[in-house]
Structure 1
Amino acid sequence: MANEKISVVDGIKKTNIPYGRLGSSGLQVSRICLGMMTFGDTKWREWILNEEQSRPIIKRALELGIYFFDTADVYSFSVCEEITERALNDFAIREEIVVATKVFRTMSDGPNQKVLSRKHIFDACDASLKRLNMDYIDLYQIHRWDYETPIEETMEALHDLVKSGKVRCIGASTGNRTKADIEKQEKEKKSEQSETAMKRAQSVKPTQIALAWLLAKRGVNAPIIRASKMYQLEEAVEATKISLNAEEINTLEELYTPHQILGHF
């Protein structure tokens, strides 16, 4: 018996999850994005959920009105994209969802099967489309900054994918707009008293406050969450309804010292 498709429209009406434009594009996305890295093969990471464990979570996300999904070719050695395809093909209406994936990492021993050369970008996109069983990718992102390939070559290749119809929008993941020098970030001391007061006032969890803070920041369209339990999805959706005022935001930020970005560039 075939799985009944889940209408994202029904989910949005049920939970009132907000949606909005992604960056400067015209693409509308749910303000929570489900990160798919959690789903795949435990040979890649021990904390990964297998396909059987993953499917109910993906299905529940759709029921809650979450229709933005982020994966990558390298996650679980491509198994993540395959699990994403089977779940979304069974549960989702393609025209209603937004699927993002990424390119950069070495996918085979071939000398051209890595980084952001024109050849690798084209080959990787075709491979992702095949694994996802889709005619196009909504958002195709560079997974890391490539210090070797000329940026003109990378950008032209991405632009050509858009013109070809294989990709709708392009973007960058794990990046830094200013390309600041990276250094190890020190651990920050948090104000437990302030956090306790905030939590008491709002009657919500710290993770929900963190999401509400992110959603209040200019330029943050849809935080990517990882979920291994059903309740984590539901709490994330509820967090979109939390409105922090200026005083609360200042309370959260007052003891924070900005650091240079920690990550892969």
Structure 2
Amino acid sequence: MEYTRLGSTGLQVSRICLGMMSFGDPARGNHPWSLPEEDSRRVIEKAVAAGITFFDTANVYSDGSSEEITGRAIRDVTDRDDVVLATKVHGRMRPGPNGAGLSRKAIIRELEDSLRRLGTDYVDLYQVHRWDPHTPIEETLEALDSVVRSGKVRYLGASSMWAWQFSKALYLAGEHGWHRFVSMQDHYNLLNREEEREMHPLCADQGIGVLPWSPLARGKLTRDWDESTERSGTDEFGKRLYDEASDRAVVERVTEVAAERGASRAQVALAWVLSKPVVTAPIVGVTKDAHLDDAVAAVDLRLTDEEVARLEEPYTPHAVAGF
């Protein structure tokens, strides 16, 4: 496994971030395809053995059970100080006022709940899951700064917003002397490259580490276009992300390059993401041993400039999706 620094910080992370949305109680939340605790723990143990030190979850994943499973597994299979633990805040966790969003009240309450579920007294990377149009960004940023100063959070990150929103947040944090976001978790893969237009140049300029979610396009880049899985049949959010006729051509190109390199399609698609200088680590969801093996192998797969150009050539512009 290779390691790199998260953006311009001194924090070192593995080049693969294990996405913990795959782990949780299938009976809780809206991810019936998630792995229960025993199966999740086996995957997490294998990830740690492979050198992965970066784990990303969220309070809303499987109604908090993803954080619970993540925390127990990390505590049992490795040293807490040897891993970088990331979680997120924004989504609705309970009915009624202040049960969601990025108000000061919500952030402080949800951080305390996340720490309890994770079984730790600090989070390495605390991320806003989405932009909150109902809360002044100054209130959100000041609240986030306060939790860093409290020692309960080490670094701050953001996810899935417009570049102008992220730029505004970075500017205001700098103006007020608040801790700034150091990472951007965005929707980026061979089927959707719209972040290359504004967000990625902004991140490169500001020293922000990019952590792409869905780097394999919900698995569409790893299988034949018409093939389905248990998750794809129930993943309503994923169904809204990829349904373009042009996407099929990209998947076919990945298949061609993979065959020529003697690698899996997942390895090629991840190697392409990893080849982008602005990317710190793609967030990879794993439900099978082969998924993890492919992710680890992708770190060592170096694509040529010609292969990168071939993979990118069929792409056509898409509507921004994912937030």
Q: Fold match, TM over 0.5?
A: yes
Structure 1 portions without partners, runs of 5+: 1-16
Using the alignment, how far apart are the partners of 1:236 and 1:118 within structure 2? 37
Match of 1:172 in 2: 158
Shift of 1:241: 0.4
1:146 matched to 2:132: yes
1:33 matched to 2:17: yes
1:214 matched to 2:281: no
Work out whether residues 49 and 228 of structure 1, in 8 Å CA contact, stay in contact via their aligned partners in 2: yes
Using the alignment, how far apart are the partners of 2:297 and 2:290 within structure 1? 10
- Identity across aligned pairs (percent)? 49
Using the alignment, how far apart are the partners of 1:61 and 1:172 within structure 2? 25
Match of 1:8 in 2: none
Work out whether residues 185 and 259 of structure 1, in 8 Å CA contact, stay in contact via their aligned partners in 2: no
1:83 matched to 2:142: no
Using the alignment, how far apart are the partners of 1:241 and 1:32 within structure 2? 11
Using the alignment, how far apart are the partners of 1:253 and 1:55 within structure 2? 36
- Output aligned runs, 1:5-154, within 5 Å: 17-43=1-27, 44=29, 45-154=31-140
> Counterpart of 1:161 in 2: which secondary structure?
helix
Shift of 1:224: 0.5
Shift of 1:205: 1.0
> Counterpart of 1:225 in 2: which secondary structure?
strand
Q: Over residues 141-165 of structure 1, what are the superposed CA-to-partner deviations in whole Å (9 max), with x where a residue is unaligned?
A: 0011111101111111111111111
Alignment equivalent of 1:250, drawn from 280, 294, 309: 309
Shift of 1:228: 0.6
Count of aligned residue pairs for this structure pair: 247
Using the alignment, how far apart are the partners of 2:263 and 2:165 within structure 1? 36
Q: 1:191 to 1:163 in 2, by over 3 A?
A: closer
Alignment equivalent of 1:162, drawn from 140, 145, 148: 148
Q: Over residues 63-105 of structure 1, what are the superposed CA-to-partner deviations in whole Å (9 max), with x where a residue is unaligned?
A: 0001100011111111111111111110011111000000001
Q: 1:184 to 1:209 in 2, by over 3 A?
A: closer
Output the TM-score relative to the length of structure 1.
0.88
> Counterpart of 1:42 in 2: which secondary structure?
coil
Using the alignment, how far apart are the partners of 1:258 and 1:162 within structure 2? 39
Moved more, 198-207 or 221-230: 198-207
Q: Which has the higher contact order (CA 8 A, sep 6+)?
A: 1
Q: 1:166 to 1:220 in 2, by over 3 A?
A: same
Work out whether residues 143 and 174 of structure 1, in 8 Å CA contact, stay in contact via their aligned partners in 2: yes
Match of 2:291 in 1: 232
Work out whether residues 15 and 299 of structure 2, in 8 Å CA contact, stay in contact via their aligned partners in 1: yes
Q: Over residues 94-147 of structure 1, what are the superposed CA-to-partner deviations in whole Å (9 max), with x where a residue is unaligned?
A: 111000000001211241121000110011111111111111100000011111
Using the alignment, how far apart are the partners of 2:58 and 2:290 within structure 1? 24
Match of 1:7 in 2: none
